[in-house]
Amino acid sequence: MADGNWTISERVPVRFTGGRARTGPATLGQTNMVRSVGIDDPAGSNARLIWEVPAGVDVARLASVVTTLLLRHDSLRTTFPEAGRQSVAGEGSLEMSVYEADDAYACADDVAPRLRAIRFDPATELPVRASVITSHGVPAGLILILCHTAVDAASQSILRREVTALLTGEELPPPAATQPVDLGETEQTPAGQRRIASALRYWDDLLSTTPQAMFAVPGVGPTDWMLPRLTLRSTTAAPALARIADRTGAGRATVVLAALCALIGRRLGVRTAVVAMLAANRLLPHLTDYVGTISQDALMSAELDVATFDELVGRIRDRSLAAYRRSTFDSVALWNIIDGVAARRGTHWARDCVFNDLTGLGQGSGPADVTDSAIRLEWLPAEAMPTRLMVWAVRLDDEVELSVLADPGCLSTAEVEAFGSAIIRLIVEAADQDIDLASSSVVASLEPVVRGDGWYLSDRCWIELAAVRQLLDDVLDGRPNLVVAVPDPAFGHRLVCYVTGDHVAAERIHADCVAALEMRPSAMAPHHYVLCSQAPADVTDVTAWQSLAVAERTGRAEPKVTVRPAN
C-alpha cells in the first residue's frame, strides 16, 4: 500500500500472553472516557506519542517494546463490552504497520495525524495502535496512538519514560501495583461512594448558582471547536512567579490561574470566573505511577470582587483546592445533574474556560533562553478542543511557558496574543509587591467587550434579549410570541414569554428551548410563560398580550402558577 512518499512495507503481529485476565467495574474515569470517545473528535481525544528510534534497534525489538507495555499496564489490554464493566485480556495481539519512506520525519508528520483521527471502538478494540517508520529499511520512529479510555496526560508521561528506557536498554522498575480493576473496585466501596456523592453535591450547587457561560459576548455563536494554539515563553516571568508564590503561600500554577481569572473578568466583563481545571487525581501514593485515565474536571467558581492581586491569589487558592477535592465523580450521574439544572434554570452550561497544569509532565519546548527577556510567541496548528478558551501551564520553573488555545470566533489572533501576553505581564507587574487590580496597567491594557442595549444580567448570566427572542422564534417555528426582560429582585431580570397555548404547551416549549440552547451562550429559556387565548394584532405590544392572558406557567416539570405581575 502506498500513499504520497511512503509505503506500508509490512504488518507485524505484536502478540502478548501471560497477562492476568480480569473483569470488574469500570472506573469513573473510564466510564467518562467511554462516553467521550463516542462523541468527541478522535483527532483531539486520541493521544499520539512518537519516539526517535536509536541506532541498532530493529523492528522485532520495537514489537517487543510494545508487548512489554501491554503486559505491564492492564489499561492497554482493556475493552468495555458492556456499560459500567471493563474486561482485561490476558492474551491477544495487535498489528503493527511498518511505513517505509525516504524522509522519516515527513512520513511521521503525515501518518500520525491520520492514525490519530481514526475513532477507537472501546467495546471491541484494544486501545493501542502501533506503527514504525523506517527509512531504507532502518527503523527511525515509533508511533503509538492511544485511546483516551486507556491513558490521561500523566499516563502518557509515564509511557514516554518507559519506552525511552526500553529503547536504550534500561531496566524498568516493577509496574504500578494498582491497576484499573483494582481502582474500580475501590470506587465502589462505601467510602468511595461517599466521596462521589460529595462531589456531585458540589457540582450541583455550582451549576445551579453560577453563570452558564463565560463567553456570553456579542458575536459569539456556533464553533467547530478547532482552536489555534499559541505558545508563550518568558524567563523574566519565572523569578517573578516564584516571588509571588513565596509571598502568598500559593503554588505557582495557582498564581497563573489567578492572573487568568483577573483577565477573564476584565475582558469578558464578568463578576464571577468559572473555570474547569483538569485534575490529575494522583495525590495518593498508589496512584502516582498508575497508567489509566483518572483525570477529571475540577469545577472552580470564584467571585472577582477583591481589591488586590494577592487577595485574588488567596481566593483562587481556596476555591481551586475545594474544586480539586471534588474532582472524582460518576460522569453519568453528573450529566443527569447537568440536564436537571438546565431544565430547572432554563440554561445550558458551557465549559467555556479550561485550565490545565501540565508542569509535572516534562512537556516544555526546550531549554530556557536566559539571554532573552522578551515574551517569545509561537503559533502552532489548531487542535480539536471542546471549549472556547484553554490555558496550559506547561513549565513554571526557570522559564514560564504557557499555551493559549482560543476559539477564533471569541478572540482574534491579535487578541489571543494580547491576552496570553497579559497573563505573563501581570505576573511580572505583581512580582515585588501586591498591586491594586483596578490600577493595574496590564489589566487596563485589555479592551473589555461592549454589551449594548438589549443585554441583561439574569440569574447571574449575561443574556441578549435578541438571542432569546431568536431562540423562541426557532423553537416555535413562526408561532407568534413576545419575550420581554422585566426587572426582578431575585434574578436581576426575569424573562417572560407571551404565547398562545395551555400548560402542556408551556412545558413543551420550555423543554424545546432548553434542548436548543447549545451553541447559544447569550440565550436562556424564559423564566415563565404567560399563556394567552390568542395573539394580538400587534405582536410587539406587551400590553395587548397582557389583555389576552389566561394563565401563567413556569414550563418546568412541576408546573406552578406564578403570582408575580407580568411586568
Q: What is the DSSP string of 263-332?
A: HHHHHHT-SEEEEEEEE----SGGGTT--S---EEEEEEEE---SBHHHHHHHHHHHHHHHHTT----HH
CB of 151 within 8 A of CB of 47? Answer: yes
C-alpha cell at 516: 436548543
Q: Report the residue count for the chain.
A: 567
For 178-203, give one letter per residue: b (16+ CB within 10 A) or e: bbbbbbbeebeeeebeebbeebbebb
What is the C-alpha separation between 526 and 513, in angstroms, rounded? 9
Q: Within the chain, what is the greatest distance between any pair of CA atoms?
A: 88
Q: What is the DSSP string of 195-253?
A: HHHHHHHHHHHHHHHS-S-S---TT------EEEEEEEEESTHHHHHHHHHHHHT--HH
Contact residues for 192 (Cβ-Cβ < 8 A; gap 6+): 186
Residue 308 burial by Cβ neighbours in a 10 Å radius (0-12, 13-18, 19+): middle
CB of 212 within 8 A of CB of 524? Answer: yes
- List C-alpha distances in Å: 173 to 72, 165, 166, 176, 289: 10, 10, 11, 9, 11
The per-residue pLDDT for 358 is 93
Contact residues for 55 (Cβ-Cβ < 8 A; gap 6+): none
The residue whose grid cell reads 485515565 is 293
- List C-alpha distances in Å: 18 to 15, 68, 72, 92, 180: 10, 11, 11, 10, 18
What is the C-alpha separation between 345 and 554, in angstroms, rounded? 10
pTM of the model: 0.90
Q: Which residues pair with 458 in a beta bridge?
A: 461
Phi, psi angles (nearest 5°) of residue 56 = 90, -5
Closest CA to 87 of 162, 34, 159, 13: 34
CB of 326 within 8 A of CB of 198? Answer: yes
The residue whose grid cell reads 474536571 is 297
The residue whose grid cell reads 464493566 is 85
Phi, psi angles (nearest 5°) of residue 275 = -130, 130
Write out residues in the chain with pLDDT < 70, as ranges. 1-4, 363-373, 557-567
The per-residue pLDDT for 265 is 97
Contact residues for 121 (Cβ-Cβ < 8 A; gap 6+): none
What is the C-alpha separation between 222 and 200, in angstroms, rounded? 29
Closest CA to 177 of 190, 164, 186, 189: 186
